[in-house]
A and B are shown apart, each in its own frame.
Chain A
């Protein structure tokens, strides 16, 4: 079974703090994704990575950066947290290429910025 873990289930940070959210997968998947989930807006893609040190912006990258130094680990960084970044953050992984394979999700991190 694919296992996708996220560093925290719940996180409370203050405005202006630097925040690191980490995602680790154990299935050697090429692709890793960071989404934020907000009520009524569904899942919106922040960034994804298709290989080590490679990244692409998703639909809402502003205010975020990412890092992928090892294949199994994909970090989301909020350089200076703001209250409008209070949300549920979901990490997902998947195989690359022309495959119908699904994305596998982590349990999510509920971030509150006060």
Chain B
């Protein structure tokens, strides 16, 4: 089974600053998808951003962007201009091109300091 590692259990950032959350994964496949999910306190998990492994260009969604390093099997999430509403647990996830199963990391709890 694929493994997804998030080495930062907790992170904090000042409001309006930039923070980067780390994620590494282990796979022998060449085609796959990577995701970042956000789970606000007591609220539903939602997708933040996704990346197809065959695309060299890093995905961006407004203030959220990724740094996808395929050779290094690294997929970090950068949050720019952090807002109080960004405070949440963030999960990195992997899905193979042909499979149905998602593999999740252990999560990073992000605190935004006013």
Question: Judging by beta carbons under 8 Å apart, are A42 and B52 in contact?
Answer: no
Most A Cβ at <10 Å: residue of B1, B6, B98, B104: B104
Task: Please give the residue numbers on chain B whose beta carbons come within 8 Å of chain A beta carbons, in ascending order.
Answer: 1, 6, 9, 33, 35, 37, 43-47, 50, 52, 91, 93, 95, 97-98, 100-102, 104-107
Residues of B within 8 A of A45 (CB): 101-102
For window 6-54 of chain A, which residues contact chain B by CB distance below 8 Å? 31, 33, 35, 40-45, 48, 50
Q: Within the complex, which residue of B47, B50, B101, B106 is in contact with A42, where a contact is CB–CB below 8 Å?
A: B106
A106 and B44 contacting across the interface, CB-CB below 8 Å: yes
> Is the pair A100, B101 in contact by a Cβ cutoff of 8 Å?
no
> Are A43 and B104 interface neighbours, CB within 8 A?
yes
- B91 A42 Cβ-Cβ under 8 A: yes
Q: Within the complex, which residue of A31, A41, A59, A102 is in contact with B100, where a contact is CB–CB below 8 Å?
A: A31
Q: Which residues of chain A come closer than 8 Å to B91, judged between CB atoms?
A: 42-43
A/B interface sample: 29 pairs, CB < 8 A: A31-B100, A33-B102, A42-B91, A42-B104, A42-B105, A42-B106, A42-B107, A43-B91, A43-B104, A45-B102, A48-B100, A48-B101, A50-B100, A90-B45, A94-B100, A96-B100, A98-B97, A100-B33, A100-B50, A100-B95, A102-B35, A102-B47, A102-B50, A105-B44, A105-B45, A105-B46, A106-B44, A107-B43, A108-B44
- Chain A residues with CB below 8 A from B104, complex form: 35, 42-44
Contact of A41 among B33, B46, B52, B106 (CB under 8 A): B106
Q: Which residue of chain A lies nearest to B97 when distances are taken between CB atoms in the complex?
A: A98
Question: Contacts of A102 on B, CB cut-off 8 Å?
Answer: 35, 47, 50
